[in-house]
Structure 1
Amino acid sequence: MNKNDSKDKNKKISIKHRPVAREDIFSDKDKEPQVSKNLYLTPKKKKLPPWLLPLIIIAVLLLGVFVLLPSLLTDSNDENPSATEQPQATEPVIPLAGVGDRAVLKRSSALVFTRADKTSPHITELLLNESVLITDTAQKDWLGVELEDGLSGYVERSALTADTSSLSLDDDVVMKLVIRDPFKRVMSHARGGTLLLEAPMGTILYADYHNSGLVRVKLPEGKLGWMNTQGVFLLNVNEDLPVPDDFQKSFIFTAIAFENAAYIPGGQTRNGISTAGVVRLSALLNGLELPRTAGQLMEVGEKVEFPKTSAQPAIKFLRPGDLVFFHEKADDQSLDLMALCLTEERLLLSLNNKATIQIIDFDSVTAEELSERIMVARRLNESSQ
């Protein structure tokens, strides 16, 4: 055994005890044990922003100026009306149209119906500033009218005015205008402004001022409007458009521009037109005044005679500018449609099953079928009225 081992055995092992907490002899046993209390923070009081009070003061002042003060002034003025009484601008008094009176169209255009009913057939169409004679005022929303060429029908009452001052040739009228563009914009001011209306092709207006490519025109109900002179014929007050030397060529050239225009029975504007309307407007812009309807056009010009023994279809004998009229398939006494001969090979017409003005060839199936239904053909000249 090792000496060191014997020494270790002789050593005593001492156990150290952990000190035990002793009861505090100085504490008062009768007292309740102290419990920690929660800590409460008092919330900070909110203050109004410094800019709010001045804003409230300004709002109160504005309320007084714009609300309270005017009411006080009104009360005081009621006691003395003459202190604030101002002359009021009055609208021009427009007379009511009666039977036998003349009226003027104040819209761009208006259809003329056979009866006082929009579902009835169209006879024709009036253009801005056209004059009519009143024949019937018994209908609430309609007026019976007679046109310058003797046609009669019904027009919406709201489209007409009894103020015919726009047709008056007073000393202030400086020129006559005929619109040759499809539509001409009429503005409220010389350099822009708002659009008052659009004057369709063929409209006749009178101007009381002309300068630097601008004219001021007289409109129905005493109104005035402005337009530039592009697309407008400028004439002396009592002057008519001259007939060009080569009337037929110019007449046909004008009519061709209506190809694919929307078709409306009796229509007289580019928004919707009939073959008779194309013929009338094309002639008007070339100095020749013609009737409005196909039935009336059957009586103008010279009758075209067709060879009775020719093997060729009658349509082959038409000349440029001729008007040709076709009867219905089942009734050779009833007019079905009309056409304008453009060249020795082509016709311009509005077919009943088409929505636009068409140009067809003489050799087409349609033209050959129509050739069998010719009622009459008329040849226009410079004296055709």
Structure 2
Amino acid sequence: MNKTDSPDKNKKLSIKHRPVAKEDIFVNKDHDPHLPKKLYVRPKKKLLPPWLIPLMIIILLLLAVFVLLPALLTDRDQEVPTETTAPLPSETGLPAVGAGDRAVVKCSSVFVFAGPDKTSRHVTELLLNESVVITDTSYRDWLGVQLADGERAYVERTALTADTSSLSADDAVMKVIIRDPFKRVMSHARGGTLLLEAPMGTILYADYHNSGLVRVKLPEGQLGWMNTQGVFLLEADADLPLADDFRQSFISTVVAFENSAYIPGGQTRSGISTAGAVRLAAFLNGLDLPGTPEQLMQTGESVSLPNTSAQPAIKYLRPGDLVFFHKKADQQTLDLMALVLNEDRLLLRLNNKATMQIISFDSSAALELSERIMEVRRLEEMSD
């Protein structure tokens, strides 16, 4: 061996200079190159959310139950006219009212005053579709009128209309008389909006009737719908017949006004007077009476009571008698009126009460009133 070769034989390679393989930049360092890579497929997006189809099914079922099914049942039973309203007053060209013209109440009810001022005395109350004759047009907000019983008074202009078509029975199939305290009149046969409430004693004419529904003519050319519960249905030109037992039926009807709010001249359950209760009860049993105490004092026959001290004069009264009492300090001035009921009782409004009361003949109030009897009237229908 050459001397020159010995140093090379003893030479050692440093670890730092050991050859290193080139790194493959296309191979995942964390993945074994001899194993296949895992493949992932992205799920396909749905066009509709999963809750939409069940919701649509529920909506369709609700429509079928509450809309389609009732409509099918209705069509099977009857064919309701599709036209439920008539031309509005602005389209009909209503004439201006003048003295001597007729006018009609177009609201549920309206009070009639002694003068063209709300602070004046209440005369009575007019109901929906009642007619009056114009007597005075000189006031901007008031009309002087003559009532059906001849009384003259004043009514607010806004409560009346010159369109009297709702009074005509020519094209009507029946007359409708309200016997419930109030009857709702709607814009459509089923559902719709409330047009107004017709009070007890209102007379309307119907141009359509079927399956418990009537379509009635209202003032100003309007039409409204109501069911036939709580009403009398008559021939268009007929009137209510007199009740068989008028006295008993009349008293049974008028008793329903006990505890009703009292309003002077009132003719509805919202506010009634004794004269109003008498008039309504008589009308619903087939008898027309005036609606003011002064006129009722001229109705029927006068009754003279025995002038004796054996018992109070009030004890001689009979059921159905109309009793009028004068003021304490003025025997010529009417104070209040009462109706005699069965079992020695009176229906009236006492001066210190806000509602209609029923009192016994033996009560202190009745015995005090017995000293102030001004007039007693007995209706012919009450005579035995």
* Bucket of the pairwise TM-score, normalised by the shorter protein: 0.7 to 0.9
**Aligned residue number for residue 253 of structure 1:** 252
The question of whether the paired residues in 1 share the 8 Å contact of 2:169 and 2:237 is answered with no
Pairwise CA distance, 1:343? 1.6
**One-letter code aligned to 1:342:** L
Distance in 2 of aligned mates of 1:310 and 1:287? 39
Q: Write out per-residue CA displacement over residues 288-334 of structure 1, whole angstroms, 9 at most, x where no aligned residue.
A: 00011011111111222211234100101111111100000001111
**Aligned residue number for residue 332 of structure 1:** 331
**One-letter code aligned to 2:149:** D
1:361-372 correspondence to structure 2 within 5 Å: 361-372=360-371
1:271-310 correspondence to structure 2 within 5 Å: 271-310=270-309
Q: 1:237 to 1:383 in 2, by over 3 A?
A: farther
Tell me the secondary structure at the aligned position of residue 262 of structure 2. Answer: coil
1:110-189 correspondence to structure 2 within 5 Å: 110-170=110-170, 172-189=171-188
User: Structure 1: 5+ residue runs without aligned partners?
Assistant: 1-88
The question of whether the paired residues in 2 share the 8 Å contact of 1:261 and 1:273 is answered with yes
**Aligned residue number for residue 350 of structure 1:** 349
Q: Write out per-residue CA displacement over residues 235-275 of structure 1, whole angstroms, 9 at most, x where no aligned residue.
A: 11111101111100000000000001010000100000100
Distance in 2 of aligned mates of 1:354 and 1:272? 13
**One-letter code aligned to 2:178:** I
**One-letter code aligned to 1:149:** D
The question of whether the paired residues in 1 share the 8 Å contact of 2:339 and 2:347 is answered with yes
**Aligned residue number for residue 39 of structure 1:** none
Pairwise CA distance, 1:169? 2.0
**Aligned residue number for residue 98 of structure 2:** 98
**Aligned residue number for residue 4 of structure 1:** none
Q: 1:383 to 1:210 in 2, by over 3 A?
A: farther
Which stretch has the larger CA shift, 158-167 or 294-303?
Answer: 294-303
The question of whether the paired residues in 2 share the 8 Å contact of 1:243 and 1:382 is answered with no
**One-letter code aligned to 2:199:** P
1:72-87 correspondence to structure 2 within 5 Å: none
Q: Write out per-residue CA displacement over residues 320-359 of structure 1, whole angstroms, 9 at most, x where no aligned residue.
A: 1111000000011111000000124210001122110011
Aligned residues: 295
Tell me the secondary structure at the aligned position of residue 193 of structure 1. Answer: coil
Q: 1:336 to 1:160 in 2, by over 3 A?
A: same
**Aligned residue number for residue 311 of structure 2:** 312
The question of whether the paired residues in 2 share the 8 Å contact of 1:201 and 1:269 is answered with yes
Distance in 2 of aligned mates of 1:155 and 1:250? 33
The question of whether the paired residues in 2 share the 8 Å contact of 1:128 and 1:200 is answered with yes
**One-letter code aligned to 1:93:** G
Aligned-pair Cα RMSD in Å: 1.3
**Aligned residue number for residue 6 of structure 2:** none
**Aligned residue number for residue 375 of structure 2:** 376
Distance in 2 of aligned mates of 1:310 and 1:209? 62
Task: Please report the TM-score for the alignment, with normalisation by the length of structure 2.
Answer: 0.75
Distance in 2 of aligned mates of 1:152 and 1:220? 22
Distance in 1 of aligned mates of 2:231 and 2:358? 27
State percent identity of aligned pairs: 75
Distance in 2 of aligned mates of 1:186 and 1:273? 22
User: Structure 2: 5+ residue runs without aligned partners?
Assistant: 1-87
Distance in 2 of aligned mates of 1:136 and 1:301? 32
Distance in 2 of aligned mates of 1:151 and 1:352? 25
Distance in 1 of aligned mates of 2:340 and 2:252? 12
Larger radius of gyration: 1
Pairwise CA distance, 1:383? 8.6
Q: Write out per-residue CA displacement over residues 77-116 of structure 1, whole angstroms, 9 at most, x where no aligned residue.
A: xxxxxxxxxxxx9722222111111000000000000111
Distance in 1 of aligned mates of 2:140 and 2:308? 58
Distance in 2 of aligned mates of 1:383 and 1:177? 27
| Off by >4 Å, runs of 4+ in structure 1 | none
**One-letter code aligned to 1:192:** G
